[in-house]
């Protein structure tokens, strides 16, 4: 009895300590934004309520993580993202596949949107109709709790999307707004004449220029326009209204109390709108994210915020906040991802080297999530200024990249499809799985063994390079067995118009069954990635706060990345060309050991086969 009392007292004290630490700043930010004391008091009361409702086991995890705040920066972190239905049918199915995830050495899973949505109007689940209900076909909130608690027992962290920029038009607020209830209309952006929407359109770019042009949708039954930055059925929330902020924070706390460890803040740059601006990355977005961080530091300090900022580097980094006033814990390394594919298509690493140098020079507190591809398209957000100095014009180069990955030019073996191609601007993004973009689909179809061997090498080399970057690697489920594009989405009228579904195919468990067989494509990829993951987990140089830098190789197709932590140094060499190359490096600090073959050698004048790579570790003494 005394023990229970003691631990409750300890928890109470922990809450008070956190609350008083952050109270002034939270109040100041809230007042600056809303100047509404009673809504602020309501927020504070609810934070305490959600804390009270938080499970003991989660509170313990919070305290553990408060004591070891670098827990997510270790070299064992490996993520995998997947749609629950594609991966294992439903929540329960996912629970039954945890052993497979362990085999993949994954200890962080991102469950793609699973909250209630309307089939056909779901945007892959990013149009949420109820933030407190799981899609029926996937299970229930209890199933989610059971899954997160099983994951925690296996030391697997669970990430989910928090789609805070908009709700589905079927969300209760939207339904009531559509009926003309003023209280609910004020939670969105409504206009009864086209003037203001037209003013917005002058400065606000379009997210889906082809599949959902414009930023407003006319509602004839209400005689109003509503702001819809994404699809017409995704209504933008008005964070100028404190009721929206408070309620969304309660939804956030409700979800983390189900055992979620990592909250991916979807489309975060968009959450604040102002007429006459681009409505992206406005200063008040940062006020909101900082408040969200404070709220989680008080109620659930073990939870991480991952910002989805698909923007150029100078716009991304501010979402980390400052060292004193942090915002997100982690951000996607999106420019590096796009630049990686540019490098594949050009076989020239110079732009990638420059991009990695920018990332590597940022404070080590900043943690990036690295990936080769995700559920979204690849947009060609590259550093065109630098490319211009190399004679490459933006429009022509984007066209080259799309042609290349369509498999039409440049000796390409890639397969995939364009996304939101705009014939007027010539702008278009690209969709495809890693394996298909590396030539595995084409080689398989043509039953060309030699081409397949090369495609597998390319696929594995790209993963090896991704694992070497500064930050945490994230796999897309199915990539670990080289799954290729899935064209069946074209037969589904709810999906046919959105080519992103080409790389969101169902997990092929019949392939996964063959991972032990090294003669199969899936077996080869799985085994080789496994080896790399093993190395990453056992070599301290891979911690996310280690020092990372690039080394000039004097060979345009070969990239060299070095990492060092507590005197342990590993260098990685990656050949982005199908031809054999020599890296003209000369590291004169002793002998190196090839972490894959075990051979000892000098790190100088290294021959690398086409699409080959090396991980070399400096020998001690
Ligand atoms: C994010 C998601 C994307 C979705 C959009 C709108 O960018 O990654 O899939 O379409 O938000 O919610």
pLDDT (tens digit per residue) in 429-482: 999 999 999 999 999 999 999 999 999 999 999 999 999 999 999 999 999 999
Centroid of ligand 1 to alpha carbon of 303 (angstroms): 22
Question: pLDDT tens digits for 238-266?
Answer: 999 999 999 999 999 999 999 999 999 99
| Res 573 pLDDT > 90 | yes
Whether the CB of 51 sits within 6 Å of ligand 1 = no
Atom of ligand 1 nearest to the CA of 230: 6
Whether the CB of 207 sits within 6 Å of ligand 1 = no
DSSP-assigned beta bridge partners for residue 418: 430
Question: pLDDT tens digits for 473-532?
Answer: 999 999 999 999 999 999 999 999 999 999 999 999 999 999 999 999 999 999 999 999
Residues serving a catalytic function are 266, 308
What integer is the mean pLDDT of 147-156? Answer: 98
3-state secondary structure of 267: coil
| Res 6 pLDDT > 90 | no
The pLDDT of residue 426: 82
The pLDDT of residue 621: 62
The pLDDT of residue 10: 86
Torsion 375-266-307-420 (CA) sign: positive
The pLDDT of residue 466: 98
| Res 1 pLDDT > 70 | no
Whether the CB of 169 sits within 6 Å of ligand 1 = no
Centroid of ligand 1 to alpha carbon of 166 (angstroms): 10
What is the token pair recorded at 563?
Answer: 């990492």
What integer is the mean pLDDT of 199-227? Answer: 94
263 phi/psi in degrees, rounded to 5: -105, 120
Q: Are 556 and 576 in contact (CB under 8 A)?
A: no
With tokens 């700043």, the residue in question is: 25
Q: Tell which residue, 413, 480, 487, 417, has the closest CA to residue 453.
A: 413
What is the token pair recorded at 97?
Answer: 């596949």
What integer is the mean pLDDT of 39-44? Answer: 98
Name the least confident of 66-70, 311-315, 345-349, 556-560.
311-315
Q: How many CA atoms lie within 13 A of 431 on its CB side?
A: 21
Q: Tell which residue, 350, 448, 441, has the closest CA to residue 392.
A: 350
Atom of ligand 1 nearest to the CA of 500: 9
Centroid of ligand 1 to alpha carbon of 521 (angstroms): 32
Separation of CA 229 from chain center = 20
Whether the CB of 230 sits within 6 Å of ligand 1 = yes
Atom of ligand 1 nearest to the CA of 163: 12
pLDDT category at 314 given cuts 50, 70, 90 is confident
C-alpha span between 189 and 196 (Å, rounded) = 11
Q: Are 579 and 562 in contact (CB under 8 A)?
A: no
Strands 330-332 and 304-307, how do they pair?
parallel
Centroid of ligand 1 to alpha carbon of 500 (angstroms): 11
Centroid of ligand 1 to alpha carbon of 376 (angstroms): 7
Percent of the chain with pLDDT over 70: 100
| Res 410 pLDDT > 90 | no
Q: Which string of DSSP letters, residue by residue, matches 23-82?
A: HHHHHHHHHHHH--HHHHHHHHHHHHHHHHHS-HHHHHHHHHHHHSTTGGGSTT--EEEE
Query: Which of 125, 128, 205, 266 should be mutated for ligand 1, with most atoms under 8 A from CB?
Result: 266
Atom of ligand 1 nearest to the CA of 124: 9
pLDDT category at 423 given cuts 50, 70, 90 is confident
């Amino acid at each position: 009895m005394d023990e229970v009392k003691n631990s409750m007292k300890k928890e109470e004290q922990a809450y008070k300590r956190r609350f008083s630490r952050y109270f002034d700043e939270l109040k100041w930010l809230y007042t600056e934004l809303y100047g509404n004391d009673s809504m602020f008091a309501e927020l504070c009361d609810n934070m305490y309520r959600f804390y009270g409702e938080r499970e003991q086991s989660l509170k313990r995890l919070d305290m553990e993580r408060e004591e070891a705040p670098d827990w997510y920066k270790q070299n064992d972190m490996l993520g995998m993202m997947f749609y629950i239905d594609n991966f294992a049918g439903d929540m329960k199915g996912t629970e039954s596949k945890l052993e497979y995830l362990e085999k993949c050495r994954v200890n962080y899973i991102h469950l793609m949107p699973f909250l209630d949505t309307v089939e056909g109007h779901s945007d892959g689940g990013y149009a949420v109709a109820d933030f407190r209900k799981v899609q029926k076909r996937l299970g229930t909130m209890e199933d989610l709790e059971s899954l997160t608690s099983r994951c925690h027992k296996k030391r697997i962290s669970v990430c989910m999307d928090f789609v805070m920029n908009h709700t589905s038009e079927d969300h209760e607020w939207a339904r009531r707004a559509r009926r003309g209830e003023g209280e609910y209309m004020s939670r969105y952006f409504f206009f009864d004449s086209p003037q203001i929407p037209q003013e917005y359109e002058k400065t606000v770019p379009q997210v889906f220029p082809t599949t959902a042009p414009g930023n407003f949708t006319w509602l004839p039954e209400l005689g109003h326009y509503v702001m819809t930055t994404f699809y017409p059925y995704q209504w933008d929330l008005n964070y100028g209204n404190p009721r929206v902020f408070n309620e969304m924070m309660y939804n956030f706390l409700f979800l983390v109390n189900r055992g979620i460890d990592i909250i991916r803040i979807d489309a975060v740059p968009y959450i604040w709108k102002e007429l006459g601006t681009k409505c992206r990355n406005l200063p008040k977005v940062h006020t909101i994210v900082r408040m969200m961080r404070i709220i989680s530091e008080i109620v659930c300090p073990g939870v991480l915020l991952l910002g989805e900022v698909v923007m150029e580097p100078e716009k991304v980094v501010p979402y980390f906040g400052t060292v004193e006033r942090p915002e997100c814990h982690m951000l996607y390394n999106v420019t590096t991802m796009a630049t990686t594919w540019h490098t594949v298509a050009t076989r020239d690493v110079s732009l990638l080297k420059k991009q990695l140098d920018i990332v590597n020079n940022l404070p080590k507190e900043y943690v990036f999530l690295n990936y080769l591809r995700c559920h979204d398209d690849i947009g060609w957000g590259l550093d065109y200024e630098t490319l211009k100095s190399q004679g490459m014009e933006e429009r022509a180069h984007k066209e080259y990249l799309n042609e290349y990955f369509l498999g039409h030019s440049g000796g390409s073996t890639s397969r995939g499809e364009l996304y939101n191609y705009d014939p007027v601007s010539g702008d278009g993004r690209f969709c495809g799985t890693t394996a298909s973009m590396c030539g595995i689909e084409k080689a398989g179809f043509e039953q060309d063994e030699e081409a397949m061997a090369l495609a597998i090498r390319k696929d594995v080399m790209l993963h090896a390079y991704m694992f070497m970057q500064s930050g945490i690697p994230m796999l897309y489920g199915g990539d670990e067995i080289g799954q290729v594009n899935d064209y069946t989405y074209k037969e589904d009228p709810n999906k046919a118009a959105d080519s992103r579904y080409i790389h969101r195919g169902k997990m092929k468990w019949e392939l996964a069954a063959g991972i032990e067989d090294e003669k199969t494509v899936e077996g080869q990829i799985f085994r080789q990635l496994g080896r790399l993951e093993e190395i990453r987990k056992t070599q301290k140089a891979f911690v996310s706060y280690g020092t990372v830098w690039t080394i000039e190789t004097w060979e345009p197709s070969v990239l060299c990345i070095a990492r060092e932590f507590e005197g342990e140094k590993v260098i990685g060499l990656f050949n982005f060309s199908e031809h054999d190359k020599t890296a003209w490096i000369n590291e004169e600090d002793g002998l190196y050991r090839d972490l894959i073959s075990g051979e000892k050698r000098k790190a100088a004048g290294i021959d690398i086969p086409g699409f080959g790579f090396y991980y070399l570790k400096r020998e001690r003494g």
